[in-house]
Amino acid sequence: MTASARLLIVGPQGSGKGTQGVRIAETFGIPVVSTGDIFRANIKGGTELGTQVTEILDRGDLVPDELTSEIVRDRLSQDDAANGFLLDGYPRNVAQVGHLDEFLSGRGEALDAVLLLDVPRAESISRLSLRAIEQGRSDDTEEAIAHRLDIYERETAPIIDVYSERGIVDRIDGVGSLDEITERIVAALDARGLHVAV
């Protein structure tokens, strides 16, 4: 069975949001919509979009809001996202929050919860450096990592205030074992009446 849940997972790069996002989405039977994954798949596949965004990703900069929001609207319009989804990496600034609000309210929907994974900056940097060695992502150079964390603090952190005012943010301690963190998230969602699919 699929449980309806419209979720956003947010946190600095290296907070483990990708890993936890997949776990939570599986638990709820909803798709993960990760803009970073969509861009990387397009780069790998050599599509026109991929060519357009390669340098932006390598620099650690943000892809233009309009382009990103259009991609997300297309993805959320697919059948498998009708009952819920977990957004990872979008919205990433206040302008994108506006785009998402407009799209969702047009469907009579809204986000149910925003999961904020709390991880100290030093921990994020050490996890990212490890991932750079393990996965060889071209945007995991030391310079690009620091740049992306700066962008997170400047552009993405403010979206937390916007969602906090709506009372939908759950702050999750992102330090611990993978299972512990998943349990914390599931408990927070449960407290909101968002229950796991059975």
Q: Which of 22, 29, 36, 123 binds ligand AMP (CB under 6 A)?
A: 36
Say which residue the tokens 């297309």 belong to: 74
Q: Which of 15, 68, 124, 182 binds ligand AMP (CB under 6 A)?
A: 68
Active-site residue, from 137, 154, 171, 184: 137
Residues 6+ apart with CB under 8 A from 70: none
Distance of CA 65 to the CA centre of its chain: 15
Instruction: State which amino acid sits at residue 82.
Output: A
**Whether 44 is catalytic:** no
182 binds ligand AMP (CB under 6 A): no
Nearer to ligand AMP, 10 or 30 (CB): 10
Among candidate residues 89, 95, 114, the one with its CA nearest the CA of residue 38: 89
Question: Which residues inside 125-164 make contact with ligand AMP, applying CB under 6 A?
Answer: 139, 148
Nearer to ligand AMP, 21 or 194 (CB): 21
35 binds ligand AMP (CB under 6 A): yes
62 binds ligand AMP (CB under 6 A): yes
Q: Which of 7, 28, 39, 174 binds ligand AMP (CB under 6 A)?
A: 39
Instruction: State which amino acid sits at residue 25.
Output: A
Q: Are 109 and 23 in contact (CB under 8 A)?
A: no
Q: Near ligand AMP by CB under 6 A, which window of 62-70, 118-126, 171-179, 182-190?
A: 62-70
**Whether 131 is catalytic:** yes
- Distances in whole angstroms, Cα of residue 88 to Cα of each of 112, 164, 175: 14, 18, 19
Q: Is the dihedral of CA 26, 96, 51, 78 positive or negative?
A: positive
Residue nearest ligand AMP (C-beta atom): 36
- Distances in whole angstroms, Cα of residue 162 to Cα of each of 19, 94, 114, 156, 184: 25, 8, 11, 11, 23
- Please list the active-site residues: 17, 92, 131, 137, 148
- Which residues would be at the binding site for ligand AMP (CB under 6 A)? 13, 35-36, 39, 56-57, 60-63, 68, 89-90, 92, 96, 139, 148
